[in-house]
Amino acid sequence: MKKASSPQAGSATDNLVAEAATFIGIDFHKRYSVFHAVDAAGRDLGKGRIDHHSPQGFTQLVQRWPNPRVVFEASMNWHWLYEVLERVMPAGHITLANPFKTRIIAEAQVKTDKVDAKILAMLLRAGLVSPVHIPARETRDRKEVLRQRCFFVRQRTMLRNRIHRLLGAQHDLKLPQCSDLFGRKGMSFLEKLDLPAPAGLLLKQQLEMLKNIQARIKEDEAALAQMMSTTAAQSHLLSIPGMGPILAAVAVSEIDEIGRFSSAQKLCGYAGLCPSTSSSGGKTYNGKLMRHCNKWLRWAFVEAAWVAVGCCPYFGDLYRAKKANGKKSNTAILCVARRMCRITWQLLTDERDYETFPPEHEDGRRPRRGAKAQPKTRHPTASAKPRTRDAKGRAKAAKRLSPAAPIAH
């Protein structure tokens, strides 16, 4: 005679089944996707293929099993699949995997779409997926406009180089004396210039394309100005010397949420401004910069650093100090960019603007605002030779000149 099960035991079992998650790995491609689903015990539940011309198949997929968790790799147009899944399931149940850190797939000897989907599902079940941050829709839209503008700027540079080459191949051609050949005076000269065939035709085509690209760049900049007008982080970064509207917009969009980084060093590593390190057996070797990083963020800080060393005494002194220590120009500017990245983390964390403090006296006191500097008196027996500071004194002086103190190290 079978023992009757109690209703409390049955309800507990039902709740356990309802809470059990289903793990779905999707191998995302351009025109189709392959999926594989497993349960919490690792048993296969189903597999198949979904064509992208009928995205309702993804809706049926996540509604097929209870409590689904989905993972797929960050590839080209990954946001298309994310936006489809976001409509039918919580965003927290969608994981975007870092393809550079999923080495078990890249180094597999048997690599097919079905195998890749199953491995992703099993890794998600075991909690071994290295996730990628998924920015909000507004941030993704800003990134698209920024990268479109960067693409047009590269095309404009290529066209200008072709025009320079074309003009340089002409005999007895005297160019006007102007600082910018593509300014108002230079463009007026180029439009009236009559070159022999086929150079005249080529110049006309290139000038028309240059005007068109310039108009597109202005449209993108106007759209960016409207998108970034409500961003508080934009004003904080614009207060840093060397940061213009475009570079600040790139930095804000790529960082997205400063809370993702627990320290300034984490942000520097994400931007790829720290050298790769190999340490073993008590020996440490610092190599080249990190390959897998946010290259857009590193580009923004390096470009801003080149401007800052020419317009800000603090960053200019830092650059010249690194050069005096034997660093090359590119290495010294990376040190400035890394310092600027640390300051950015501090400003965004504290939600404040960049401030420039006056240098302190040797006793650690700052001069009162509006007070006149007192001339230094020299003892009659003091030597006329300039005093030299040791390494500890130089480090102490550099700490006093910090423009956004306190800066986290």
Concatenate the DSSP letters of all residues of 6-43 into one string: PHHHHHHHHHHHHH--EEEEEEE-SSEEEEEEE-TT--
* Torsion angles phi and psi, residue 27, rounded to 5: -95, 100
Residue found by looking up tokens 């939600």 in the block = 351
In 261-372, DSSP assigns E strands to 275-280, 283-289
Kindly tell me if the per-residue pLDDT of 142 is higher than 80: yes
CA dist., res. 118 & res. 121, Å (int): 5
DSSP state, 143? Answer: H
Question: Does the pLDDT of residue 270 top 80, yes or no?
Answer: yes
Supply the pTM of this predicted model. 0.78
Q: Is 176 helix (H, G, I), strand (E, B) or coil?
A: coil
**Residue 328 to residue 44: CA distance in whole angstroms:** 57
Q: How far apart are CA 348 and CA 352, in angstroms?
A: 7
- pLDDT tens digits along 299-355: 999 999 999 999 999 999 999 999 999 999 999 999 999 999 999 999 999 999 998
pLDDT at residue 283, rounded to an integer: 82
55 membership: H or E segment, kind and range: none
Range in 10-14, 172-176, 188-192, 215-219 the model is least confident about: 10-14
What count of Cα atoms within 13 Å lies in the side-chain half-sphere of residue 252? 29
* Averaged pLDDT score across all residues of the chain: 84
One-letter identity of residue 317: D
Cα atoms in the Cβ-side hemisphere of radius 13 Å centred on 211: 10
DSSP state of 240: S
pLDDT of 406 higher than 90? no
Looking up tokens 């403090």 gives 357
Q: DSSP code of 65?
A: S
- Residue 9 scores a pLDDT above 50: no
- pLDDT score for 358: 72
Q: Rounded to whole angstroms, how far apart are CA atoms 52 and 58?
A: 9
Taking the C-alpha atoms of residue 388 and residue 91, their distance in angstroms, rounded to an integer, is 60
Q: pLDDT tens digit string along 346-393?
A: 999 999 999 887 766 556 565 554 444 444 444 333 333 334 445 555
**What is the share, in percent, of the chain residues with pLDDT greater than 90?**
68
Confidence at residue 388, expressed as pLDDT on a 0 to 100 scale: 44
Question: How would you class 333 by CB atoms within 10 Å of its CB: exposed for 0-12, middle for 13-18, buried for 19 or more?
Answer: buried
User: Quick one: pLDDT at residue 359?
Assistant: 67
Strand ranges inside 98-241, DSSP E: none
- Report the pLDDT value the prediction gives residue 19, as an integer from 0 to 100: 59
120 within 8 A of 72, measured Cβ to Cβ: yes
> By percentage, how much of the chain surpasses pLDDT 70?
82
- According to DSSP, residue 325 is labeled T
| Residue 402 pLDDT greater than 70, yes or no | no
Q: Which of 30-39, 175-184, 229-238 has the lowest mean pLDDT?
A: 229-238
Whole-number Å distance between alpha carbons of 400 and 361:
9
258, 344 Cβ separation under 8 angstroms: no
Which whole number is the average pLDDT over 255-276? 92
Mean pLDDT of 42-48: 94
pLDDT of residue 361: 58
Q: Answer whether residue 140 shows pLDDT above 60.
A: yes
Task: Identify the weakest region by mean pLDDT among 12-16, 46-50, 112-116, 130-134.
Answer: 12-16
101-133 burial, b if ≥16 CB within 10 A, otherwise e?
A: ebeebeeeeeeebeebbbbbbbbbbeeebeebe
Q: For the segment 278-288, what is each residue's pLDDT rounded down to a tens digit? A: 778 888 877 78
Q: Kindly give the interhelix angle for 245-255 and 329-350, rounded to the nearest 10 degrees.
A: 70
Whole-angstrom Cα distance, residue 47 to residue 34? 8
Could you tell me the two tokens for 127?
A: 């909690």
Q: Which of 12-21, 111-120, 147-156, 199-208 has the lowest mean pLDDT?
A: 12-21
Q: What are phi and psi of 249, to 5 degrees?
A: -65, -40
CA-to-CA dists, residue 90 to 63, 69, 153, 409, angstroms: 12, 9, 39, 37
Return the minimum-mean-pLDDT range out of 107-111, 200-204, 252-256, 336-340. 107-111
State yes or no: pLDDT of 175 exceeds 70.
Answer: yes
Long-range contacts of 279-282 (CB under 8 A, 24+ apart): none
> Tokens for 216?
């597109």
pLDDT of residue 376: 41
d(CA 371, CA 52): 71
